Amino acid sequence: MKTATTEGINITVNTKYRADLSNVLESQFFFNYTIEIKNENHFDVKLMHRNWYIFDSINEPKIVSGEGVIGEQPILKPGQSFTYTSGCDLLSEIGYMKGFYTFENQITGENLHVFIPTFEMYFPGKLN
């Protein structure tokens, strides 16, 4: 589990290797990541945008950018959390992801850049 707080927003990430969606013989490794976002501010925030840097040890890094997450742009009240699960496929046994979210302060309209802690994705057989 990885955790970081930026601009009063706490991000916690858990990853899981998915053997059922992977094919080791064809170098296809699939991982799920679950992210909990908690608003620790005294004002509402809206998740506007995501930016990911995906590193695959034998492939070119990928940049993924888009509105919201999993098709949503949730508004979080103070103390409220939002959790979602998504996935990433790699061509190698080792990789990582990092990035940031852009939130909007619902009172001032100011943008908040919130860092997502770097999290590793490892094929369990590689660690033996």
Q: Distance between CA atoms of 65 and 80, rounded to whole angstroms?
A: 25
pLDDT tens column, 67-116:
999 999 999 999 999 999 999 999 999 999 999 999 999 999 999 999 99
User: What are the counts of helices (DSSP H) followed by strands (DSSP E) for the chain?
Assistant: 0, 9
Superfamily of domain 2-127: ApaG domain (2.60.40.1470)
Task: Report residue 125's pLDDT band, with 50, 70 and 90 as the boundaries.
Answer: confident
pLDDT tens column, 20-48:
999 999 999 999 999 999 999 999 999 99
> For position 73, what pLDDT does the model report?
98
Beta-bridge partners for 88 = 31
Burial class (CB in 10 A: 0-12, 13-18, 19+), 68: middle
Model confidence pTM above 0.85: yes
CA angle 21, 26, 30 (to 5 degrees): 30
Name the residue ranges covered by the structural domains of the chain: 2-127
| Placement of tokens 């990911």 in the chain | 52
